[in-house]
């Protein structure tokens, strides 16, 4: 049964380096941890704690690229005023001891990319840091609140904040921008601010809040909890300058327990490929008392 026959994938994104710029792609290949190449790299400070653009806004001006077609052969990085950096995977000593990195409530294991990469990233981020790649052996568990109807023991997650995937309706972004234009409080928001993997068109604003189980192309997915938005959404991805929007406007109509919400944490049931243009079918809806409550 399809409850959203016109819904399709409008855009797909991967974010190879956590908190850096994303890459718009034509397809996402899904493995047991999410989109291949998504949030598999991270910057850490000298204490080994992850660095994000919440407080280090310059990360958003770091633009990653893939070195191989499979998105798993290393990373390229550019940043204003610096020569490009390339870090082929075969230059990282995968036999060396791994490092533990704290990603919110979890510890993950990762490989250090070396001193040259560390010096470049320190210059780009404006603070001492090192570049790490998630180890292939890492098995960070998926928290039950993000899993929807999927057994969380059947999936892992790389270094995203919540679920392996983040889904957002383009109509929800359009509704936000209509409010901003009407109020005169700010310019329209580029969808890149919300760091979604999957952007859907052909739905009404916030339809995604009501979904439980969906199918995109040949891939079955479950929609878990809503995404609580933070100050990162207020940082312009092109200038790294912070403002008040969209959090000020979200507070007027997207407030929920714990903050403001926008977009849905989503988990895939099986490996597969998502493509731009794929049809989305809504297979089941949440019970009324299980839907995000906003005010």
What does CATH list as the number for 8-33+142-290?
2.40.33.20
CA torsion sign, 157 to 225 to 213 to 174? negative
Averaged pLDDT, 122-132: 98
Q: How far apart are CA 174 and CA 272, in angstroms?
A: 29
Q: Which of 88, 86, 62 is nearest to 74 (CA)?
A: 88
Averaged pLDDT, 217-227: 96
Q: Please report the pLDDT score of residue 153 as a whole number.
A: 85
- Over the stretch 144-173, which tens digit does the pLDDT of each residue have? 888 888 988 888 999 999 899 999 999 999
Band of residue 260 on the pLDDT scale cut at 50, 70, 90: very high
Q: How far apart are CA 211 and CA 154, in angstroms?
A: 21
What is the percent of the chain where pLDDT is above 70?
98
- pTM for this one? 0.95
Tell me how far CA of residue 242 lies from CA of 7, 55, 189, 247, 280, in angstroms: 33, 10, 13, 11, 34
Averaged pLDDT, 109-136: 98
- Over the stretch 186-207, which tens digit does the pLDDT of each residue have? 789 999 999 999 999 999 999 9
Q: Which helix (H) or strand (E) holds 115?
A: helix 115-125
Averaged pLDDT, 256-267: 94
* Domain extents in the chain: 8-33+142-290, 39-134
Strand partners for 273: 29
- Over the stretch 91-117, which tens digit does the pLDDT of each residue have? 999 888 899 999 988 999 999 999 999
Q: How far apart are CA 87 and CA 76, in angstroms?
A: 6
Please report, for the chain, how many H helices and E strands are present, in that order. Answer: 4, 20
With b for 16 or more beta-carbon neighbours within 10 A and e for fewer, the 5-23 pattern comes to: eebbbbbbbbbbbbbbbbb
């Amino acid at each position: 049964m399809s409850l959203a026959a016109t819904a399709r994938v409008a855009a797909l994104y991967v974010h190879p380096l956590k908190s850096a710029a994303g890459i718009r792609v034509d397809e996402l290949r899904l493995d047991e941890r999410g989109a291949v190449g998504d949030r598999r790299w991270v910057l850490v400070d000298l204490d080994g704690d992850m660095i994000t653009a919440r407080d280090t806004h310059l990360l958003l001006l770091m633009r990653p690229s893939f070195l191989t077609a499979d998105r798993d052969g290393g990373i390229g990085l550019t940043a204003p005023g610096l020569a490009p950096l390339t870090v082929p995977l075969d230059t990282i000593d995968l036999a060396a001891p791994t490092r533990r990195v704290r990603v919110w409530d979890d510890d993950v294991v990762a490989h250090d990319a070396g001193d040259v990469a560390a010096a470049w990233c320190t210059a780009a981020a404006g603070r001492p840091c090192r570049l790490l790649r998630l180890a292939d052996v890492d098995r960070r568990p998926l928290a039950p609140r993000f899993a929807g109807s999927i057994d969380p023991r059947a999936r892992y997650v790389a270094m995203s904040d919540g679920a392996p995937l983040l889904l957002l309706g383009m109509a929800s972004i359009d509704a936000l921008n209509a409010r901003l234009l009407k109020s005169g409080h700010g310019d329209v928001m580029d969808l890149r601010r919300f760091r979604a993997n999957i952007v859907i068109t052909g739905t009404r604003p916030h339809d995604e809040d009501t979904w439980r189980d969906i199918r995109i192309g040949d891939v079955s997915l479950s929609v878990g909890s809503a995404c609580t938005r933070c100050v990162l959404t207020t940082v312009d991805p092109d200038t790294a300058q912070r403002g008040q929007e969209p959090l000020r406007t979200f507070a007027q109509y997207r407030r929920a327990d714990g903050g403001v919400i926008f977009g849905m944490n989503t988990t895939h049931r099986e490996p597969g490929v998502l493509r731009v243009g794929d049809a989305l079918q809504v297979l089941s809806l949440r019970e009324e008392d299980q839907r995000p409550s906003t005010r």
